[in-house]
Amino acid sequence: MNSLINALGLTFSQQGIKYAVAGDNEEAIIIMQKMKEAPVTLKILFVVAEDNKSMSIKFYNIYHVERVTERLILKVNELNKIYRWVKLTIEDTDVVMSMDHMADETNIGRLAVELALIGVQMGDLIYRQIDELYNKD
Whole-model pTM over 0.85: yes
* Structure confidence at residue 13 (pLDDT): 94
Decide if 113 contacts 15 (C-beta within 8 A). yes
Number of neighbours of residue 23 by Cβ within 10 angstroms: 14
* Structure confidence at residue 136 (pLDDT): 66
User: What domains appear along the chain, each with residue ranges and CATH number?
Assistant: 3-135 (3.30.1460.10)
* Structure confidence at residue 76 (pLDDT): 96
* Structure confidence at residue 43 (pLDDT): 96
* Structure confidence at residue 134 (pLDDT): 82
CA distance 19 to 29: 7
Q: In what order do the strands lie in the sheet with 28-34?
A: 20-22, 28-34, 41-48, 54-64, 94-102, 87-91
Q: Is 17 helix (H, G, I), strand (E, B) or coil?
A: coil
CA distance 45 to 42: 9
* Structure confidence at residue 39 (pLDDT): 93
What b/e readout covers 52-80, taking b as 16+ CB neighbours within 10 angstroms? bebbebbbbbbbebeeeeeebeebbeebe
CA distance 137 to 132: 9
* Structure confidence at residue 53 (pLDDT): 85
pLDDT string in tens for the chain (137-residue length): 688 899 999 999 999 999 999 999 899 999 999 998 999 999 999 999 888 888 999 999 999 999 999 999 999 999 999 998 899 999 999 999 999 999 888 888 889 999 999 999 999 999 999 999 887 65
